[in-house]
């Protein structure tokens, strides 16, 4: 009877323990880019990274681009790297979007959604802010102009030495 209780507890706690030990650093977050060049956040160690998932059909993504461009321009010299991950199935759809809404930051393509799956993406746009050591600091789903001041404060705080 005691062994059954121990086994039952182990079965119940194993998924819970997995949640608490899940790696949230950049080390395990990589994906093939559109040109099959590997994209790995580990390459950005030493920088604060704002990783943003977007797609051409996403209206709030279109609204977020001017703000993402502004953050890249304003804080790049302090060590911010904004990286957009496009999830369109067709590169042409992304290119049409970018013709009307240009990006002034690094772009990578993830049509298979490999990186999106690793982050358990729940909606778009979705952004992930990493510190200089590759640790995940904060996530946001959606884009609301009323929240841009708070998000910029989070970036500034992450950029502090």
CATH number at residue 58: 3.40.30.10
In a domain, 103, yes or no: yes
Instruction: List the domain range (segments joined by +) for residue 59.
Output: 25-159
In a domain, 101, yes or no: yes
Residue 23, pLDDT above cutoff 50 = no
Domain count, the chain: 1
Residue 142, pLDDT above cutoff 70 = yes
Residue 9, pLDDT above cutoff 50 = no
Does the predicted model carry a pTM greater than 0.85?
A: no
Write down the pLDDT at residue 39.
64
In a domain, 6, yes or no: no
In a domain, 151, yes or no: yes
In a domain, 7, yes or no: no
66-125 pLDDT, tens digit each: 999 999 999 999 999 999 999 999 999 999 999 999 999 999 999 999 999 988 899 999
Task: Tell me the CA end-to-end span of the chain in Å, nearest whole number.
Answer: 56
106 neighbors 73 (Cβ within 8 angstroms): no
């Amino acid at each position: 009877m005691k062994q059954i209780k121990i086994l039952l507890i182990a079965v119940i706690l194993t998924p819970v323990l997995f949640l608490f030990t899940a790696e949230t650093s950049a080390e395990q977050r990589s994906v093939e880019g559109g040109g099959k060049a590997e994209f790995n956040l580990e390459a950005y160690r030493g920088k604060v990274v704002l990783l943003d998932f977007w797609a051409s059909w996403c209206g709030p993504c279109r609204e977020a681009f001017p703000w993402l461009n502004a953050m890249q321009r304003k804080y790049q010299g302090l060590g911010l790297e904004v990286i957009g991950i496009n999830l369109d199935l067709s590169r042409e759809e992304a290119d049409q979007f970018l013709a009307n809404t240009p990006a002034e930051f690094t772009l990578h393509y993830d049509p298979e959604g490999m990186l999106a799956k690793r982050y358990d993406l729940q909606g778009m746009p979705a952004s992930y802010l990493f510190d200089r050591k590759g640790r995940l600091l904060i996530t946001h789903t959606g884009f609301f102009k009323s929240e841009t001041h708070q998000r910029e404060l989070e970036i500034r705080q992450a950029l502090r030495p």
